[in-house]
Amino acid sequence: MEKTVKRFPVIDSADCSLCQGCVAVEPDVFYFDENSGRIVVRELAEYPLVQVDEAIKNCPRDCISWDIPEKMHLSGECTEEEILGIG
Ligand code: SF4
């Protein structure tokens, strides 16, 4: 079973070249939104760790990164393993 995490990928649209490499790597997470003309991250409860790491590694503009909702830090509602996929 694939490992999922509760942190989420974000895209710096200012640097994105719209090459759609991330969409090719993981279309279940990234898609091109024709209305905004941007690459958008789908809203999921959890994200596949390996596939998103692969998209980050292959992004030619280095504009994808992981983020962690502030409330997860504050509330302690998630374990570090759930957020980071470690362990
Ligand atoms: S791989 Fe990077 S530069 Fe290419 S569309 Fe995705 S976020 Fe933009």
Q: Where are the domains of the chain?
A: 8-66
> Does ligand 1 come within 6 angstroms of the Cβ of 68?
no
In percent, the amount of the chain with pLDDT more than 90 equals: 72
Coil, strand or helix: which one is 2? coil
Written as six digits, the tokens of 14 are 């200012």
Q: Which atom of ligand 1 is nearest to the CA of 20?
A: 5
**Prediction pTM value:** 0.89
More confident residue, 84 or 27: 27
> Does ligand 1 come within 6 angstroms of the Cβ of 10?
no
Pick the CATH number of 8-66 from 3.40.640.10, 3.30.110.30, 3.30.70.20, 1.10.10.10: 3.30.70.20
Chain mean pLDDT for the chain: 91
pLDDT tens digit sequence for 8-49: 999 999 999 999 999 999 999 999 999 999 999 999 999 999
Residue 72, Cα to own-chain centre: how many angstroms? 16
Give the model's pLDDT for residue 73: 65
Q: How far apart are CA 75 and CA 42, in angstroms?
A: 24
> Does ligand 1 come within 6 angstroms of the Cβ of 22?
yes
